[in-house]
Amino acid sequence: MVTANVSQGPSFSESFYTSLNEMANGRRIRTCLQCGTCSGVCPFGYVMDFPPSRMIAALRAGVFDKVLKSDTIWMCVSCYACTEICPSQIPLTAALMTRAKEEMLLAGKVPAELQDALESSQRYGNPLGESPRKRALWAKGIEPEITILGKAKQPVDVLWFVGDYPSYHPRVHLTSRALARVFNALGMDFGILGPEECSDGDSQRLAGERGLFELLAEKNGRAFARYEFNEIVTSDPHAFNALKHEYPALGISYPVRHYTEFLTERLDQLKPLLRKEVPARVTFHDPCYLGRANGLYEEPRALLSAIPGLKLVEMYHTRETSLCCGGGGGGMWLDGFQWKKAHTRLSEWRVREAVAAGADILAVACPYELPRFEDAAKMVKEAGQLIVKDIAELLAEAMEL
């Protein structure tokens, strides 16, 4: 077993090591083989001064302060690719990268666009800086009307945790409306928190703002406690990840599923409603926080395969090796910074892969991805007529809703 060089007395590296030891499986960092696989698989590893394996080498050498002098840690999009591939099963994304970002925040070394998103999250309860009062506006006009728990004051079977982008982003609204129509067609008894819902906080946590994450989680936890429901379903893999793995440590514990998981369990009920053919070659982009972080690979594909006329094709990077859209872990709020460093966008790489797979439609199941891939498709010449759609939109189309 290799240990940190602490022969010159207490150092920053030593205290950083100690803090990692306190995290789940954090001690495994000492089993690093220095194989470099993590750095090789990292989509932005080539522009990082200290990709994961070099960070660990710096930690061992007792010079971790050098890592924090570089700002390229902000190229990490928390995609879990390094964690997935590490032969020593070191929690690189959850422990090493997130702790390093926490130190950067403490030192005040934060790109301005990320700082703005964090301040908006603190002030308004969402990174877009929108008013909480507008959180349910997307649902206006849907029939039957969507139950807002604070108004209806009645128990529901399912609490739909909608999420930030599905609530506020004009393009992602369409996905929320499609999913609401699918839920209604299935006769589900569901409601939303509307103005009482705030950001799940997971991306803020992964960007190093643990305190802000806890504040947002506790606010959501208090809202959950006001109502009666049996389970939570969410349209956002980041919210799913937070509610499943992070909220329980704060005493906020409810059964939770991503909507693709929830609907797959109702395929028998759903299939007879999928009457209209969608004659297209569709490729599915595995979101990092549905796939690598939570192992849900088959459910989205089962839903797509149930649509008549649809042919599923796979991209080169698929399932465990899926290529991040670039939006996770704060990446959504670091586009300008990352463009300056890398002069490329991960979303554009992914659009090229969808084209190479011969797809007409790039299907997604994460609200970050829709606007990212649509923007990327406009920038990639060979994207031609490639369309980006959420699985919920494709289901609604096949159900003629």
Query: Which residues would be at the binding site for ligand SF4 (CB under 6 A)?
Result: 32-38, 41-45, 52-53, 56, 76-82, 86-88, 90, 92-93, 97
CB of 62 to ligand SF4, least distance (A): 18
Please report, for residues 54, 75, 400, the alpha-carbon distance to residue 37 in angstroms, rounded to integers and kept in the order given.
Answer: 11, 17, 47
Q: Report in angstroms how near the CB of residue 190 gets to ligand SF4 at its nearest.
A: 33
SS3 359: coil
> Is the Cβ of residue 79 or residue 156 nearer to ligand SF4 in the bound state?
79
User: Least Å distance between CB 46 and ligand SF4?
Assistant: 10
CB–CB of 315/356 below 8 Å? yes
- 160 and 183 Cβ atoms separated by less than 8 Å: yes
Nearest distance in Å: CB 324, ligand SF4: 6
- The smaller minimum CB distance to ligand SF4, of residues 44 and 64, is found at 44
How far apart are alpha carbons 127 and 119 in whole angstroms?
Answer: 8
Q: What are phi and psi of 291, to 5 degrees?
A: -80, -90
Least distance between ligand SF4 and beta carbon 332 (Å): 14
323: nearest Cα among 356, 291, 363, 281? 291
CA distance 395 to 276: 10
Instruction: Give CB contacts under 8 A, 24+ apart, made by 137-145.
Output: 138/162, 138/166, 138/167, 138/168, 138/173, 138/176, 138/177, 139/176, 139/177, 139/180, 139/192, 139/194, 142/177, 142/180, 142/181, 142/184, 143/184, 144/184
Residue 328: C-alpha distances to residues 200, 296, 351, 369 (Å)? 13, 17, 17, 10
Return the number of the residue (41 or 192) whose C-beta is nearest ligand SF4.
Answer: 41
DSSP 139-170: GTT-SSPPEEHHHH----SEEEE--HHHHH-H
Closest to ligand SF4 by CB, 293 vs 391, is 293
Question: Among residues 52 and 208, whose Cβ is nearest to ligand SF4?
Answer: 52
> Which two structure tokens, joined as six digits, stand for 235?
């349209």
Smallest gap from Cβ 370 to ligand SF4, in A, equals: 21
Between residues 156 and 206, which has the closer beta carbon with respect to ligand SF4? 206
* Nearest distance, CB of residue 126 and ligand SF4, angstroms: 24
| CA 107, chain centre distance (Å) | 26
Residue with smaller CB distance to ligand SF4, 32 or 172: 32
Comparing CB distances to ligand SF4, the nearer of 87 and 308 is: 87
The residue type at 390:
D
**Smallest distance, Å, CB 245 to ligand SF4?**
16
